[in-house]
Amino acid sequence: MEAAAQETRILDAAEELFYGRGLQAVGMAEIRDVSGASLKRLYQLFPSKDHLVEAYLRRRDLRWRASLAAYVEARSPGEERILAVFDWLREWFAEPGFRGCAFVNSFGELGATSDAVAEAARDHVDALKDYLASLVAEAGHSARLARSLLLLVEGAISTAAVCADAGAADDARETARGLLELDFARTGGAG
């Protein structure tokens, strides 16, 4: 099999296993089994487990944000798109195997030990913050609102995971609606 396809299968296996059970709980042998690649190939494409972990995080960040953006951008511009973020969260939370934010989880597990993991996690949150800021700007709201939304999104993800309660997305959505109203009043309805 060609290398590119194998890399994809390896990353698919890594994502499923790392996200589902944690970074240290999954061994290279299991990734070999699930991906179908040989151990030799695995180490050719990713010279160490650390490299594979980082590649997993980087790809997941890209895909996660792309999925969110695709969902959001199907709505018409403005406040609807901001609220769509929470609709997307709700669908995600209801998926079987949802286990919180891969980046927060990885940061908690290895952030103290691995700079690469800590950076990947921070980059993800920064990128999410920027994306929320772009939606907020599009809707004509204040930049401050984006920071509030980030807290709501991250808070909803964590509590939904720990409490196994997808309703956190609804709470976050309602709260965001309130914040939009409030910010609308503050900025005088310029958006």
Q: Which is nearer to DNA, 41 or 58 (CB)?
A: 41
58 and 116 Cβ atoms separated by less than 8 Å: no
Query: Which residues lie below 8 Å from residue 79, measured CB to CB, with a gap of 6+?
Result: 139, 141, 180, 191
String of DSSP letters for 97-136 = T--S-HHHHHHHHHTTT-HHHHHHHHHHHHHHHHHHHHHH
Nearest CA-CA partner of 45 in 2, 82, 106: 2
Minimum distance from residue 40 beta carbon to a copy of itself (Å): 27
Q: Is 28 in the site for DNA (CB under 7 A)?
A: yes
Say which DSSP state 163 is in. Answer: T
Question: 34 to 63, contacts with DNA by CB under 7 A?
Answer: 37-41, 43-44, 47-50
User: Contact positions toward a copy of itself, by CB under 8 A?
Assistant: 20-22, 24-25, 99-101, 103-113, 118, 121-122, 124-126, 144, 147-148, 150-159, 161-164, 168, 171-172, 174-175, 178-179, 181-182
In this structure, the number of other CB atoms found within 10 A of the CB of residue 135 comes to: 24
Q: Given candidates 5, 8, 20, 29, which one binds DNA under the rule CB under 7 A?
A: 29
If binding is defined by CB under 7 A, does position 117 make contact with DNA? Answer: no
Should residue 26 be labelled a site residue for DNA when binding is judged by CB under 7 A?
yes
Nearer to DNA, 8 or 44 (CB): 44
The residues, ordered by sequence, that sit 6+ positions from 181 with a Cβ below 8 Å of its Cβ are none
Residues that bind DNA (CB under 7 A): 1, 6, 24-29, 37-41, 43-44, 47-50
